[in-house]
Amino acid sequence: MNFVEETDQIRAIQWVQEGLRILDQRKLPDQISYETVTTAKQVAEAIQSMKVRGAPAIGITAAYGVVLAARGQYASDPKNWKNKIDKDLKLLTAARPTAVNLFWAIHAMRELIGTIETDPVPPLLKFALRLHENDIAANRKMGETGADLLSETHGILTHCNTGSLATGGYGTALGVVRSAFKRGLNMIYASETRPWLQGARLTVWELQQDGIPATLIADSAAASLMHAKKIGWVIVGADRIAANGDVANKIGTYSLAVLARHHSVKFMVVAPTSTIDWDTKTGDKIVIEQRDSRELLMDCYFGRDSVIDAWNPVFDVTPGELIDAIVTEKGVVFNPNLYRMSTVK
């Protein structure tokens, strides 16, 4: 499990005998630091604090968190573990409000719990491992499918981090970058992605580990990059996709889509179908997470006790009408709308 290849070396979440081994992405690229968590509470904290990030990775991590919860509750009270585990599931569910993969994974694990009569750990762990494996396989499929659309493209721009750090392995949008690189495309640009700098700290570092060249740009340089005709596609991931194809993703994605349309640059979203929230009809119904203003102000600029106000939404919503293709493991939705999205349901 978690098989790697030359251009896919990173594994940010790994199941080990003691528990779940997590790469603390907040410390990258200066420090590669893994920690092993053994409780659902520790898993929830890792998700909330962004040690783990990226919708697919959050879902997989939550599934492993349920395994740890079951292991602890069954060991302490074999007869009543089902009643006691509900508190752990609610804790995991509350860790991040936008990534629909989190809710999907916990719902699937909750349904499985209802069928278990003996030791819950083996069947729950088997399911979580399979979820992890399936994510890697789906990412590789999406990578090849997305790369098929880039045959005439000379350059691409990606936003945030959507690679092995944000998934079970290989990546969604960065999976397309990996597949395109193996086919010869090497003009790859990554935006810095304020305020957490996932592009600067994570994407460029991750590609460097795998020998894939990438050029970093400031977020505000994207328009100039497009005007100079350096790229033909913008390729991003998604934290939640509404039923009509509107996409919630890292803040700044919407701006890139508007710029891309103005400059006749194509715009691709790459995400597994588990990211699609079929119960949310349009993007304006998606709850956007607001995070601490200090993440934007940064202590080094304004001081820990700064009174300067800041608005810090972590996501924005890109309307489906600005998206040329949504690539999933079940196929591609071109120019998404409610009807076309139903083809991958």
Please name which of 345, 341, 332 lies closest in space to residue 144, comparing C-alpha atoms.
332
Residue type (1 letter), 137? A
β-pairing, 240-242 vs 276-277, is: parallel
The percent helix, strand, coil of the chain (3-state, each to 5) is: 45, 15, 40
Which of 239, 246, 277, 324 is catalytic? The answer is 239
Give the whole-angstrom CA distance, residue 247 versus residue 243: 9
Q: In what order do the strands lie in the sheet with 215-217?
A: 215-217, 188-191, 156-158, 233-236, 266-270, 325-328, 331-334
Read off the DSSP letter of residue 249: E
Spell out the alpha helix ranges (H) of 214-337: 222-227, 253-262, 294-297, 299-302
Dihedral-angle region of residue 96 (phi above 0 means left; psi in -120 to 50 means alpha; beta otherwise): beta
> Can you read off the two tokens belonging to residue 221?
């340089």
Distance of CA 131 to the CA centre of its chain: 15
**How many helices and strands (H and E) does the chain possess?**
13, 14
Q: In what order do the strands lie in the sheet with 13-16?
A: 13-16, 19-23, 34-37
The answer, yes or no, to whether the previous bond of 29 is cis (omega within 30 of 0) is yes
Assess contact for 39 and 59: CB atoms under 8 A: no
Q: Is the N-terminal amide bond of 122 cis, ω within 30° of 0?
A: no
Between helix 121-148 and helix 55-76 the angle, nearest 10°, is 170
Whether residue 239 lies in the annotated active site = yes
Token look-up 């505000």 returns 220
Provide the annotated active-site residues.
Answer: 239
